[in-house]
Chains A and B, each alone.
Chain A
Amino acid sequence: MTKYVVKRLLLMIPTLVGVAVLVFFLMRVVPGDVVELRFAGESSFASKENLDKERARLGLDKPLWKQFVDWMGGIARLDFGVSMWTGAPIIEEIRLRFALSLQLAIMSTLIAVLLAIPLGVLAALKQDTWVDYAVRIFSIAGLATPSFWLGIVFILMLLIVFKWLPPMVYTPFWVNPVQNLAQLIWPALAVGYRYSAVAMRMTRSAMLEVLREDYIRTARAKGLWEKLILSRHALKNAMLPVLTVIALEFAFLMGGLVVTEQVFNLNGLGLLFVESVAHRDYTLTQALVLLVAAVFIFVNFLVELAYAWIDPRIKFR
């Protein structure tokens, strides 16, 4: 077991190196660079010489392979360098935003799971009744409603009904949990509702499938209570595909919440991502992509562990 975990963690390294190569070269295929963009407005004043000097300062004049090796060397020492746009250390740029995005992703996922699994099971049990239809309409509506729009509705409602606005400045959880939750619960609800839809449908269909299995009939023939059949015999088997969906969604939430972040005035990774690409801030973009990739791989690894824990047929190798 320990050996398996270590092996899997080590296997993450080649994947991440692959991601690093890809993002490094893709970024450089995009036309324009950070120097050009920064001085674009004043290009008439900035001489070619000055631009070259600036490029040299950022190391952009070196051959590509040298830049890559330097960058990888830094990463190996966990030194991500400085942002090409702001000059601040990457770690500093990312730290708080990562904390915020991670927390928001976790909260949204929790809300999505809390909605999806009970509703999915309920819909499966009441298949083709009005309960089933109601649940499915509720979840389709979630999928059809952009979370930022729902976010705006939340804010307006809080403002109009309770004459209260959630805090607009991010307070880390460890500084003031109440303040922190008061701010993040709303975007988490908006996002979680939307993302519950897919997991709900997956729960429903997996549950329907499992309930048709022979071993469920065997359990019924044993005279077990219906509740026990559900909780012990059906749910565990039905959770396997749902787990995968939830993990994928979680990884997506880490970097993909651009508009929602804007609506709630959150400085998360999503916005930073967009800006860093727009600025051709190579170092920052590369660090962000690597970070999200690492989260993605790690979450998948956790899912695999969970699979093996639930299903004894899956062996640690």
Chain B
Amino acid sequence: MGVLLSVQSLVTQFSTSSGIVRAVDGVSWDVDEGETVALVGESGCGKSVTALSIMRLVAQPAGRIVSGHVVFKGRDLLTLSEEEMRRVRGREIGMIFQEPMTSLNPVLTVGRQLTEGLEIHLAMRQTDARARAVELLGMVGFSDPARRLTQYPHQFSGGMRQRIVIAMALACNPPLVLADEPTTALDVTIQAQILELMKALSRRLGVAMLIITHNLGVVARYADRVNVMYAGRIVERASARELYRNPRHPYTLGLLRSVPRLDEPRRARLQPIEGQPPDLTRLPTGCSFRPRCAFRVEYCATEEPPLREVPDATHVSACWEAERVGSSNGGPRNGPPSPPALGSTSAQPGRSSRHGE
């Protein structure tokens, strides 16, 4: 399948009173048609800014896309006029936001908010747009869509609102949907429902998805490929399966150790990554993960590790010591990996007590 979206050396910065925030600092990754790609990383590492840069919705005037390319269906979105870009938003790329309680307009009916995109992008008449809206709400699991259209957002729960936002993102049948932490604000049980819905819809409609998350459980179940982001850079990329079996960046290793896993003893301690992510206005020279890294060697302080292929694996890592990280982890694991639990509270004790390997 062909490449649908290709982000190349994207740099986005914010000028603030305390200096230039290098929120996205030269990242590159692709999404193939129909593929689900994850972007994972701690809070503040630049995930949202990456997605907003693709949509060219970075907060003006502080935020600025400094350089790079966002090639979508062969066109560089960064070179489009504002009007051309408007036609891409919603029509070609749908977007789902983190906070369903605030991402819908409180004074407009759900119907109005669903149909406006259809009327503008597909030049639908009101009745047709309404019919399509009914269909969309049905698709995301509402049992009485026609009645729901006349209601206002405050009449829905968080999970239901997120379904509406998903319906809105899918309204014009875009080939790509960017989902920025679509379930972070929801209850664990609802999270699973929403993610299952998104997975089912993306399969059925053949939509490619970028799922942004800091939850590795989400990645394991729903993504084909994973990009791990740290301090504005991509530090590791692999297929989801490979990443769990054989992480090759100390940061990824740390992330994996900080979430409960179904394939490890229940009593194994969860270890949060020590230290804080760096200040994006003053990135250290060399590797920005070095201060928190257990594998650091002398030249990490001076030489910035490039993203390069790991010799014995089919993935890339930006670590000088990638091989040592691999062996410390006991090498590639055997057998199919069991994904970690969705949320830290959802680990199923019965199944997780499969002692040792």
Which residues in A have some Cβ–Cβ distance to B below 8 Å?
213-215, 217-225, 228, 232-233, 236-237, 310-313
**What are 19 A-to-B residue pairs whose CB atoms are below 8 Å?**
A218-B97, A218-B104, A218-B168, A219-B105, A220-B55, A221-B57, A221-B89, A221-B95, A221-B97, A223-B88, A223-B89, A223-B91, A223-B117, A225-B86, A228-B116, A228-B120, A232-B108, A312-B106, A312-B107
Measured between beta carbons, the chain A residues less than 8 angstroms from B165 are 218
Say whether chain A's binding surface is mostly helix, strand, loop, or mixed. helix
Q: What is the bound-complex CA distance between A213 and B59, given in angstroms? A: 12
Measured between beta carbons, the chain A residues less than 8 angstroms from B103 are 214-215, 217-218
Q: How big is chain B's contact interface, by range?
A: 20 to 34
Q: What is the bound-complex CA distance between A233 and B153, given in angstroms? A: 14
Which residues in B have some Cβ–Cβ distance to A below 8 Å?
55, 57, 86-91, 94-95, 97, 99, 102-108, 116-117, 120-121, 152, 154, 165, 168
Q: Which residue of A lies closest to B85 (CB)?
A: A223
Q: What is the bound-complex CA distance between A221 and B88, given in angstroms? A: 9
Measured between beta carbons, the chain B residues less than 8 angstroms from A213 are 102
B117 touches A224 (CB 8 A): yes
Interchain CB contact (< 8 A) of A223 among B102, B104, B105, B121 = B121
A222 touches B168 (CB 8 A): yes
Q: Which residue of B lies closest to A219 (CB)?
A: B105
Measured between beta carbons, the chain A residues less than 8 angstroms from B105 are 215, 218-219, 233, 237
Measured between beta carbons, the chain B residues less than 8 angstroms from A228 are 116, 120
Q: Which residue of B lies closest to A128 (CB)?
A: B61
Q: What is the bound-complex CA distance between A228 and B86, given in angstroms? A: 12
Q: How far is the CB of A264 from chain B (nearest CB, A)?
A: 41
Q: How far is the CB of A186 from chain B (nearest CB, A)?
A: 38
B102 touches A214 (CB 8 A): yes
Measured between beta carbons, the chain A residues less than 8 angstroms from B91 are 223
Q: How far is the CB of A307 from chain B (nearest CB, A)?
A: 11
Q: What is the bound-complex CA distance between A224 and B107, given in angstroms? A: 17
B107 touches A223 (CB 8 A): no
Q: What is the bound-complex CA distance between A236 and B154, given in angstroms? A: 16
Q: Which residue of A lies closest to B106 (CB)?
A: A313
A224 touches B116 (CB 8 A): yes
Measured between beta carbons, the chain B residues less than 8 angstroms from A217 are 57, 97, 103
Q: Which residue of B lies closest to A240 (CB)?
A: B107
Q: How far is the CB of B285 from chain A (nearest CB, A)?
A: 35
Measured between beta carbons, the chain A residues less than 8 angstroms from B152 are 312-313
